[in-house]
Amino acid sequence: MKKKVYVALSADILHEGHINILKKASKLGKVTVGLLTDKAIAEYKKLPVLNFNQRKQVIKSLKFVNYIIPQDTMDYRPNLLKLRPDYVVHGDDWKKGVLKKSREQVLKTIKKWSGKLIEPKYTKTISSSLIKQRLKILPDIRDNRVAILNRLLQAKKFIRIIESHSALVGNIIENLRINGKMNTVEEFDGFWSSSLAESLIRGKPDNESVSLETRITALSDLADTTFKPIIFDADNGGRLEHIPYLISSLERQGVSAVVMEDKIGLKRNSLFADQSKTKQDSIQNFSKKIKIASEAKRYKDFLIVARIESLIIGTGVNDALKRAISYSRNGADLILIHSKDKTPHKIFKFAKMFKKSKYFKPLIAVPSSYSKTHEKDLKKNNIQVVIYANQLLRSSHLSITKTALSILKNKRSFEAEKNISSVNEIINLK
Ligand code: SPV
Ligand code: MG
């Protein structure tokens, strides 16, 4: 009987490195490719450009491949235990970095049936990631920009969104990344189009003085120059009759999700201490809004987010839970639970209760007032998306004020130079 060989691949952009590995593997026996799903890939790098089925079609047509099975995590063990291969083949680059742990697990597992790990030398100059960098290919290409947030939600345990009030901010955020622990890359996953920020940059209060139409039109600068998903803050979504038009305008701009909050009447920003004049919509009415929005979407991946204001207004965790269940049953894809407390206790309590419901939906938190809360604690408490809703606007407000004051005081700009970006840095922005 021919020997069994296992090769795990993401195979987003196929290059000669993959072919070498597969060719070597096929000389050893029948090759099963464990094709990494989006979820497995997102555990250690960016989402692939091509989705699972597209990649599968390419791999299926290769003469060195006999079978394909999905590999849903970077832990190889479940597939290895199922297949019990005689050989696992992998480039020797995984001896260091993020995949080191996977490698150790593989070695320990296949030893049980005297399986062998074969590690052809990895060629440093070829990798899908390098090719993508060179070609500036991003996973979120224009055609499926709407869908990218939904894809991320399926693939990543935690998603980080930040307010971007201009294309310039978008440009900075799009390209900002740092190396995290174990060679992983840390970055922001998408943009928040905030009603607060969009009002303030126009010199107006956050009370719907700036129309949704103006805000949607203004999105085109950000949409034109970036690729990451956009979440749009639509206040309470406006009148029932207008909601289908709102949804279609957002979809046309490539927006991935709309957030509508369950407030009525003249809008006041939720972070004001005094909310005595703020009115919450009835559960019935707002559920209807959510239903209309959900039925209006033309892209199945466009997401409707119901934002609950019970903790802002003071109607409490139980009220929030009742609302979450009703909004979820009426078509909300996610729930944003807002609070202006200094701690996330109530949010975590709500999340724990909601998690037990069969109507549970992924949760979003906006830690503006409870900014001490670390992402890892949000994650641990069933929050999948964090939105940093206003920090970049606040940072530009302070920075602009300081620079203007310095010029006013010193009667020249020299003293301010050390605290501002150099001309070179900004003229080289791409
Ligand atoms: C916004 O950024 O406009 C928001 C979040 O809606 S908050 O300001 O906290 O209400
Ligand atoms: Mg807002």
Write the pLDDT tens digit of every residue in 169-216.
999 999 898 887 766 778 999 999 999 999 999 999 999 889 999 999
| The two structure tokens encoding residue 367 | 């830690």
Alpha carbon distances (Å) from 379 to 40, 351, 385? 18, 11, 8
18-32, 128-142, 277-291: segment of lowest average pLDDT:
128-142
Ligand 1 mean position to 319 CA, how many Å?
21
DSSP H or E run through 423 = helix 423-427
Report which bound ligand comes closest to the CA of 164.
1
Q: Say what the pTM is.
A: 0.84
The mean per-residue pLDDT over the stretch 282-300 comes to 97
The per-residue pLDDT for range 68-113, each reduced to its tens digit, is 999 998 899 999 999 999 999 998 888 887 788 889 999 999 999 9
Q: For Cα atoms 270, 302, 296, give the angle at the middle one, nearest 5 degrees.
A: 90
Ligand 1 mean position to 426 CA, how many Å?
29
In this structure, the residue with its CA closest to atom 5 of ligand 1 is 389
Active-site annotation holder among 12, 206, 301, 319: 206
Amino acid occupying residue 253: Q
The per-residue pLDDT for range 240-279, each reduced to its tens digit, is 999 999 999 999 999 999 999 999 987 778 888 887 778 8
- The pLDDT score that the predictor gives to residue 183 is 63
Q: Is 206 a residue of the active site?
A: yes
Output 385 or 185, whichever has higher pLDDT. Answer: 385
Residue 388: beta bridge partners?
Answer: 162
Closest atom of ligand 1 relative to the 390 alpha carbon: 2
In terms of Cβ atoms closer than 10 Å to its own Cβ (0-12, 13-18, 19+), residue 350 is buried
The per-residue pLDDT for range 239-250, each reduced to its tens digit, is 999 999 999 999
- The pLDDT score that the predictor gives to residue 412 is 98
Domains belonging to the chain, first-starting first, are 4-131 (3.40.50.620), 139-389 (3.20.20.60), 395-427 (no CATH)
Ligand 2 mean position to 233 CA, how many Å?
6
| Residues around ligand 2, an ion, CB closer than 5 A | 195, 233
The per-residue pLDDT for range 352-363, each reduced to its tens digit, is 999 999 999 999
The mean per-residue pLDDT over the stretch 340-344 comes to 96
The mean per-residue pLDDT over the stretch 129-156 comes to 74
Going by pLDDT thresholds of 50, 70 and 90, the confidence category of residue 136 is low
In terms of Cβ atoms closer than 10 Å to its own Cβ (0-12, 13-18, 19+), residue 186 is exposed
Residues with CB under 6 A from ligand 1: 194-196, 206, 233, 269-271, 366, 368, 389-390
Q: Do the beta carbons of residue 29 and residue 4 sit within 8 Å?
A: yes
- In the numeric block, the tokens 């900075």 are attached to 172
What percentage of the chain exceeds 70 in pLDDT? 95
Report which bound ligand comes closest to the CA of 309.
1
Spatial separation of the C-alpha atoms in residues 367 and 369, rounded to whole Å: 6
Nearest CA to 260 among 279, 274, 239? 239
Spatial separation of the C-alpha atoms in residues 371 and 373, rounded to whole Å: 5
- The pLDDT score that the predictor gives to residue 200 is 95
- The pLDDT score that the predictor gives to residue 142 is 47
Spatial separation of the C-alpha atoms in residues 130 and 126, rounded to whole Å: 7
Going by pLDDT thresholds of 50, 70 and 90, the confidence category of residue 60 is very high
Indicate the average pLDDT of the chain: 92
Residue 160 has pLDDT above 60, yes or no: yes
In this structure, the residue with its CA closest to atom 2 of ligand 1 is 194
Nearest CA to 262 among 241, 295, 289? 289
Ligand 1 test: best mutation among 162, 193, 202, 233, most atoms within 8 Å of CB?
233
Ligand 1 test: best mutation among 271, 337, 371, most atoms within 8 Å of CB?
271
Ligand 1 mean position to 85 CA, how many Å?
53
Output 141 or 385, whichever has higher pLDDT. Answer: 385
What percentage of the chain exceeds 90 in pLDDT? 74
Residue 24 has pLDDT above 50, yes or no: yes
- The pLDDT score that the predictor gives to residue 249 is 95
Ligand 1 mean position to 197 CA, how many Å?
8
- The pLDDT score that the predictor gives to residue 125 is 66
In terms of Cβ atoms closer than 10 Å to its own Cβ (0-12, 13-18, 19+), residue 126 is middle
Long-range contact list for 338-342, CB < 8 A, 24+ apart? 338/261, 338/270, 338/307, 338/308, 338/309, 338/311, 338/312, 338/366, 339/311, 339/312, 339/369, 339/370, 340/270, 340/271, 340/273, 340/311, 340/312, 340/368, 340/369, 341/311, 341/369, 341/370, 342/369, 342/370
Ligand 1 test: best mutation among 390, 392, 393, 394, most atoms within 8 Å of CB?
390
